[in-house]
Structure 1
């Protein structure tokens, strides 16, 4: 496992133990960076207008389309570090 992957996994674990719950825009960024880092570009069907939360998550992930996995991992690590 590379150093980046190890640091990413450590940040994922750390994200579950943050002292304060981040605001919704930050939570969406965390979600989107995690999905981009672990899955890659969003290829899921866009949720309906009635699924407000699902649509917000989908939109956040979609904005990262084309972002390299390692770049998304590093951004995730940096974001979690800034919240700790």
Structure 2
């Protein structure tokens, strides 16, 4: 298993900013890994950023927290190679 906390910390120190899609993938995986399935109602239509984040998290629904941590670490390592 990966060191999830280390991966989460390393991603914050990337030299260049990942794309919006990459950031949303990280967000969805992080929330699934730390909280589990999404709860609550989706943000309103005018909250574009909130809606995108909610959808990124919802797309991971049903994934185990361990699987989400493993996928987060894999994506983080890919981004570290690409953006450092």
TM-score, normalization by structure 2: 0.92
In 1, the alpha carbon distance for the partners of 2:70 and 2:52 equals 23
In 2, the alpha carbon distance for the partners of 1:14 and 1:44 equals 29
In 2, the alpha carbon distance for the partners of 1:30 and 1:63 equals 12
**Structure 1 spans left out of the alignment, 5+ residues:** none
TM-score, normalization by structure 1: 0.92
What's the CA shift string for 1:35-71, capped at 9, x where partnerless? 0000000012100000000000001100100000000
Alignment: residue pair count: 80
**Structure 2 spans left out of the alignment, 5+ residues:** none
Structure 1 equivalent of residue 12 of structure 2:
16
C-alpha RMSD of the superposition: 0.9
Q: 1:75 aligns with which of 65, 71, 78?
A: 71
In 2, the alpha carbon distance for the partners of 1:39 and 1:19 equals 28
